[in-house]
Amino acid sequence: VIDGESKKNISFGIIRMANIDPCVKLSNFLLECDLPDDYQIFIMCYHSRQILFLRHLQEEYLDRVMKRKDENPMHVDIKDDILRKHIDNSSGKNIIFILVATPVEEVGRDHDFDWAIVEPSSFRSVVQLAGRIRRHRIAKNDYKLKNIAVMQYNINAVKGKNIAYTK
């Protein structure tokens, strides 16, 4: 979406990993990766091993900003102080907010993301996560959008371990 105040392109996505350690490692990698000058990413790592009070604060925050049911369903509440600070202080024209999460995101959350990248896991898990993509928004020809990617292999297969979820 285009932010009304800054005119910057804003995207909210989720990368769902099956396990906590790879989730944390991927978050750290993304924080340090090189991007083109006109791009900036902001990462939030979300998993069940987080200190309970901090996880509660994360969930409360995500529940507030990732609901797109209100007046303008195409936007997240970009008036949120934290998001606003990131957007206004960013030098990039394209800003990507990424939640790197484990399956904890799939349970009882009413969040609406623009896109997802999913590590292969159970069919039910992938379907649950797909339900978080454009959850509160229906636009003409939405079915033509390709905004969910399921990785070909899970992280264990990439590391040469036994491949799971091959079908």
Least confident of 16-20, 57-61, 121-125: 121-125
pLDDT band at 142 (very low <50, low <70, confident <90, very high): low
pLDDT at 158 over 70: yes
pLDDT of residue 99: 95
pLDDT of residue 166: 56
Could you write out the DSSP letters of every residue in 77-115?
-TTSHHHHHHHHH---SEEEEEEEE-GGGGSS----BSE
Q: Which amino acid is at 162?
A: N
Torsion angle, alpha carbons of 156, 161, 162, 164, to 10: 10
What number is the average pLDDT over the span 61-71?
78
CB-based contact 6:108 (threshold 8 Å) = no
Edge to edge, the sheet with strand 9-16 lists 39-46, 94-101, 9-16, 115-118, 148-150
C-alpha span between 63 and 166 (Å, rounded)? 33
C-alpha span between 126 and 133 (Å, rounded)? 11
pLDDT at 50 over 70: yes
Q: Retrieve residue 89's tokens.
A: 């202080």
C-alpha span between 87 and 27 (Å, rounded)? 20
Closest CA to 63 of 80, 40, 88, 86: 80
C-alpha span between 59 and 30 (Å, rounded)? 21
Q: Which amino acid is at 148?
A: I
pLDDT at 43 over 80: yes
What number is the average pLDDT over the span 78-107?
90
pLDDT at 74 over 60: no
C-alpha span between 117 and 147 (Å, rounded)? 8
What number is the average pLDDT over the span 56-64?
91
Q: What is the pTM of this model?
A: 0.85
pLDDT band at 164 (very low <50, low <70, confident <90, very high): low
Beta bridge partners of 41: 96
Q: What is the pLDDT of residues 93-104, one digit of tens each?
A: 999 999 999 988
pLDDT band at 75 (very low <50, low <70, confident <90, very high): low
Q: Report which DSSP code applies to 41.
A: E
CA distances 86 to 17, 79, 96, 156, Å, are: 25, 11, 10, 34
